[in-house]
Amino acid sequence: MNMFPHTVTVYNHIGESIETGLPESKITILRGVLLEISQGANIMKSGLDNADKAKLHIPFAVVAVDGESGLPQKYISPKEYDRLEDKTGFWTIGSRDNFSGQECFFVKGEVVNKMADYATINDLYDYAYRVSTVDIYDYGSPNMQHFEVGGQ
């Protein structure tokens, strides 16, 4: 049994298209992750209505490919990513502050729609979540090292 049986698509909003004025995103497909959807259990455990609705476990060795080209991508931190002018070959995941204009969200499965924002993806597909937290577990054996991402 594969411990990481799921595929998710990560969207990083990078601005609006000059031609259309529509939101434009950098899209990364992650194959070999574990997505736990458990809002009810998290609310019961924490007592908070705004508890995470999903936990996404991403091994450091995840297969990450560009959603359009299919080319491999390398992880870098959100601040490094935001500073890049050319984001080709890189991916990131993380919540952003309200002032940066950046938005990061994920959806279960392979969902590639470059001109879509979170509201559009959430209307069209089940299991779409804004990134609320990212915990980094970078210790232990390589098989144990992973990101744990909360989604709301």
The pLDDT tens digits along the chain (152 residues) read 678 999 999 999 988 888 888 888 999 999 999 999 986 655 666 666 666 699 999 999 999 999 999 999 999 999 999 899 999 999 999 987 654 557 899 999 999 998 889 999 999 999 999 999 999 999 999 999 999 999 99
pLDDT of residue 99: 47
Task: Identify the pLDDT of residue 47.
Answer: 65
Whether 41 is in a domain gets the answer yes
Query: Is residue 77 assigned to a domain?
Result: yes
Position 50 scores a pLDDT of 60
State the DSSP string of 8-77. Answer: EEEEEEEEE-TTT--EEEEEEEEEEEEEEE-HHHHHHHH--TT--SEEEEEETT-EEEETTT--B-EE--
Domain that holds residue 121: 6-151
Residue 109 domain-assigned? yes
In a domain, 64, yes or no: yes
Assigned domain for 1 exists: no
In a domain, 74, yes or no: yes
Q: Say if CB 87 and CB 67 are below 8 A apart.
A: no
**Would you say residue 57 lies in a domain?**
yes
Q: Give this prediction's pTM.
A: 0.89
The reply to whether 120 falls in a domain is yes
CB 137 within 8 A of CB 143: no
Number of domains in the chain: 1
